[in-house]
Structures are given as C-alpha cells and as structure tokens.
Structure 1
C-alpha cells in the first residue's frame, strides 16, 4: 500500500527534484480491479448447458458476460479466494458463486468450463 504525503508546492526557483519520478508511481487501482486472489486455473470461458449465458473470466481480474445475442450483457471485476468467486459489475451490482467439482455455481446457474 502506498502512503501519500501532502507537501506544499515550492516556487520554481526553490523546487527540488522528486525522489520518486512520476513514471515510478503506479496508477490507482481500486480493490475490485486487483487480480490478487484470482486463481488462474479458473480463468477462461464458462457456459451454461444451453449456451445462453457465457462468462469469460480474464486473467486480469475482469469478466465479460454474454447472454443470448448480446456479446456484452455485463462486465466488471471478479476476485477468487479458494473456490469462492465474488463479482462486481461496472454499475456496482455484486454477486457471488462457488466452484464445486470443476463446475461454477453462480446466481442459480450452473456453468461449465469451455475451451
């Protein structure tokens, strides 16, 4: 975690070189978009048996869910801890699910891994 410290701006004649160049400061990343806790063996495409709902779990902690003819019905961030997955879509809606015996159980759906 980065600790930020406020310092007053000095007039340009008194400015000192920065100990931490701007390029070295990582961009702000909200907790939900962090891939920490994401198990990469669960990344990939998960599909309901009828193929109507397709969910791509990307290695960067993002997901894209397609439904029927919609290529992007929902998208957002996910985090996996153990066999439990938590989602937060880009509108703020949250959901969760569990991986049981290689099958994803999410919001009343059963989804299977596809290549």
Structure 2
C-alpha cells in the first residue's frame, strides 16, 4: 500500500524525467516530451520501492532524506510546479 508522503510528482534536476506516484499503487513516468513513456505498478516497503512496468520490466529505488534514488537517477519532489531550489 502506498505511503501518502511519497505520492505525487518526482522530477530529475533537469526536469527531463517526471515520475508520478499515483494512489492505488500505479505510477506514470514521462521522459522529455514523451508523456506516459513508462507506466506500471509499484509497492512500498518502508523507504524501498519496487516497480513492475506494464511490459513486465522491473526496477527499484529508495527514498532517503526526501529524495528518490531510482535506477541510477536522483529525483526530487516537485512542489508548486518546480523542483526544490536545492535541486536547481
């Protein structure tokens, strides 16, 4: 089951990757101008997140200090349409 504090949009520093954790254990990831480049399910165990996209590909990540580390990427929670100032 999702942890409400992790729900919402997570973005890379350059804004190229936009990774949205949705209620109900679904996610939707945009890459550049490509909306919904990847979609699938996620499960959370503490600060660890496991993904299975709709094609069966798996990945994982970890939340640490308000940052999502996922598949070699660093994503920051988006607030009011912008990544945190510390990420820019």
TM-score by length of 2: 0.87
Alignment: residue pair count: 79
Q: Looking at CA atoms only, which structure, 1 or 2, has the larger radius of gyration?
A: 1
Gaps in structure 1 of 5+ consecutive residues: 1-35
- Tell me what 2:78 maps to: 114
Provide Cα deviations, 1:83-107, integer angstroms capped at 9, x if missing partner: 0000000000000000000000000
- Tell me what 1:54 maps to: 18
Which of 61, 64, 70 is matched with 1:100 structurally? 64
Report the RMSD for the aligned CA atoms in angstroms: 0.6
- Tell me what 1:64 maps to: 28
TM-score by length of 1: 0.67
Q: Is 1:39 aligned with 2:3?
A: yes
